[in-house]
Amino acid sequence: MKIKSIATLSVTMPLREPYSIAYETVASASNIFLKIKTDCGLTGFGCAAPDQAVTGETPGSVRQILEGPAAEAVKNADPLRIAMIMERLKGLKESHPSALAALDMALHDILGKACRLPLWRILGGFRDRILTSVTIGILPVEETVDRAEAYAAQSFRSLKIKGGKNVEQDIMRIIKVRESVGSRMELRFDANQGYTAEEAIRFVREVRKARLELIEQPTPMGEPALLGQVTRQTLIPVMADESLKTLRDAFRLAKNNLVDMVNVKLMKVGGISVALQINSVARSAGLECMVGCMDESALGIAAGVHFALARPNVAYADLDGHFDLLDDPAHGAVILRRGILFPSPLPGIGFDPDI
């Protein structure tokens, strides 16, 4: 089997409702869809969700990489030799992670189709479904509570609440949400680098009675010592997100005991292959993993689901980046029931977008 052609398509998808986090407000998402055709009739699909603040990429730079160096690397290559192909492009991992994630995703899609198996079974097959959190952006207290109640009514069981702009308001929002949704709802909090170490420690202390499940990236990613300070002085798990972009980052976080958990996003680390390596490092250090996402098409979310289902150490999922996207070419690529995500039963990633 050989790769015959590679093509890309840029799609900008508006959000049903804009949302705010500590450093920006988001109203739409631009994804780059990738199609790889082989000479035996199999076609693999992937997508990239570039975010200049997180991945350092733009839609234009992603297409340049996929249509240039990536296309050259895969020309006439055997698509089942994923490690060989991705090694050819290893120099682009840090500068163009979502572009490589799209390529890696499409190659894994072909692998699953060649084997006639859903990808999660090939990668390990530990579980067949996973609970996901659903995210509430930064809103006033009353609106946050209303949104939490609405999600509870839709049978979601885990909420992730964004904050990091105002610690006083964040404390109040968490406490009021817990009072509103009761004890059975899982609550997670993401400060998106917005706190000092002192603010993060105070926040955790003040919301103790709300029984948070975890706090995600409370301090700036460029100051890992602050992350370690929060981890040592708080009782709930501290998770790295923006601080984890490469396999070396995972090693440093684990080696120095800076966190309790890591958030692995395929778009941020460069695809499923690297995500599996990072998960192995985390497991060796006794760190749990969460698979997260950007604002990405359901196709990218589906790839994240397959990764999450494959390994026991990926105990948490935050795969809601497709929920509010309009005009998604891959709508329906994953199945949601009562806050739980299920993969498609079809081979590979399980969905062929009409692109």
Residue 298 counted as domain residue: yes
Residues 262, 239 contacting (CB under 8 angstroms):
yes
302 and 236 fall within a common domain:
yes
**Residue after which a domain boundary falls, among 69, 93, 116:** 116
For residue 66 the two structure tokens come to 């996929």
- Could you say which of 55, 84, 116 is where a domain stops? 116
Q: Are 281 and 251 in contact (CB under 8 A)?
A: yes
Rounded to 10 degrees, what is the CA torsion of 233, 234, 238, 243?
Answer: -30
User: Do residues 217 and 269 both lie within one domain?
Assistant: yes
Active-site residues: which are they?
A: 162, 190, 216, 241, 265
End of a domain among 91, 116, 141? 116
pLDDT digits (tens, 9 = 90+) for 187-236: 999 999 999 999 999 999 999 999 999 999 999 999 999 999 999 999 99
Per-residue model confidence as pLDDT tens digits over 36-71:
999 999 999 999 999 998 999 999 999 999 999 999
How confident is the model at residue 260, as a pLDDT? 97
Residues 127 and 258 in one domain: yes
- Pair (13, 129) in one structural domain: no
- 347: tokens are 């081979």
Could you tell me the sign of the dihedral formed by the alpha carbons of 88, 91, 96, 97, in that order?
Answer: positive
Low-confidence ranges of the chain (pLDDT < 50): none
User: Is the same domain home to 38 and 174?
Assistant: no
User: Which pLDDT does position 176 carry in this prediction?
Assistant: 98
In a domain, 46, yes or no: yes
Task: Provide the CB-side half-sphere exposure for 8 (13 A, CA).
Answer: 22
Q: Based on the structure, what is the number of domains in the chain?
A: 2
Boundaries of domain holding 143: 120-343
Residues 230 and 339 in one domain: yes
Q: Are residues 181 and 260 in the same domain?
A: yes
Same domain, yes or no: 194 and 288: yes
Same domain? For 297 and 264 the reply is yes
Q: Would you state the pLDDT for residue 19?
A: 84
Same domain as 124, residue 110? no
Q: Nearest CA to 328 among 293, 292, 295, 294?
A: 295
Same domain, 183 and 268: yes
Kindly state whether residues 280 and 176 are assigned to the same domain.
yes
Both structure tokens of 44:
């693999």
Q: Please, are residues 184 and 212 in contact by the beta-carbon 8 Å criterion?
A: no
